[in-house]
Amino acid sequence: MHILKISFFLVTVAVVVALTACTTLTETGRLQLILIDSAQESKLGFQAFQEMKYRESIVSAGPQMKQLQRVGKWIAAVAKLPHAQWEFVLFEDPDNVNAFALPGGKVGIYTGILPITKNGAGLATVIAHEIAHVTARHGAERISHGILVDVGGLVLSSALWNRGQDMHDMVMQAYGLGTQVGIALPYSRTQELEADYVGLLYMARAGYDPRQAIAFWQRFAEYNRKHSGKRLEFLSTHPLDNTRIAALKRLIPEVLQEYKHRPGS
């Protein structure tokens, strides 16, 4: 009975939290569950970025670094991010084809992705996409979902306390796999496509032709074909390249209106 009371309490808390912590993402209208304070989120981003700058080699001069600062400044000007202290750092690693943005306005680009970005518009595509993840608070959303999944696991584990260890372990393994494939991965793919859309808006508002994003992702897809094996989308955190490019093409007519009617155009 004591375990059942605890389970009921946890479920009640989870329901109350879920109902009171929902926010709406302005650009898309999608409801989000956010359980983390944005100021604390920014503080964690600052700390993580400082640690990365201490560990990794940084490009501090030259045309690539200047281009990053210029493009980053334009994208940051149209991205609304509370507690932002914008910083754009170029990390020296020709084998790392990646980029990221952290809460608080910390953006890192690895030199390995520059042959694929090729130009300012390509770099704007990457920066705008990564910043969109941060302004949409996708990281906080994933953590919040993880908290609820953990609560669900505790409740399920409590409900199985008298069913035997084998049954308990089998059900808990199924729960873990189900939440990963059925919740975590689809949400991650949703967030990726959402960041693509919001990133296109940022590009357009900053004065970069959003159609250039298609060209970048096509170059990225070609890189993937040459360097990666075939992957199944339902077991991937990112949408397949063809899925992403097709979605972007559908968005271009809408986003072009932002580009053509931006202030000063």
Residue 88 sits at φ, ψ, to 5 deg, of -120, 120
Report whether 133 contacts 139 (CB < 8 A): yes
Task: Please tell me the predicted confidence (pLDDT) of residue 181.
Answer: 39
- H-helix or E-strand spanning residue 106: strand 106-110
Task: Please tell me the predicted confidence (pLDDT) of residue 37.
Answer: 75
Task: Please tell me the predicted confidence (pLDDT) of residue 166.
Answer: 52
Task: Please tell me the predicted confidence (pLDDT) of residue 8.
Answer: 42
Q: Which residues in 38-74 are b (16+ Cβ under 10 Å) and which e?
A: eeebbeebbeebeebeeeeeebeeeeebebbeebbeb
What is the strand order of the sheet 106-110 is part of? 58-59, 87-91, 106-110, 99-102
Rg of the Cα atoms in the chain: 21
CA distance 189 to 174: 22
pLDDT tens-digit profile, the chain (265 residues): 444 444 444 444 444 444 445 676 677 777 776 777 778 888 888 999 999 999 999 999 999 999 999 999 999 999 988 778 999 999 999 999 999 998 899 999 999 999 999 999 999 999 999 999 999 887 777 776 666 655 544 554 555 556 656 554 554 454 344 434 344 444 477 788 889 999 999 999 999 999 999 999 999 888 888 887 554 333 344 566 788 899 999 999 999 998 887 876 6
Report whether 195 contacts 238 (CB < 8 A): no
Task: Please tell me the predicted confidence (pLDDT) of residue 249.
Answer: 95
CA distance 1 to 131: 49
The active-site residue, picked from 56, 87, 92, 130, is: 130
pTM value is: 0.73
- Output the 3-class SS for 23-69: EECCCCCCEEECCCCHHHHHHHHHHHHHHHHHHCCEECCCHHHHHHH
Q: Look up 130 and say whether it is catalytic.
A: yes
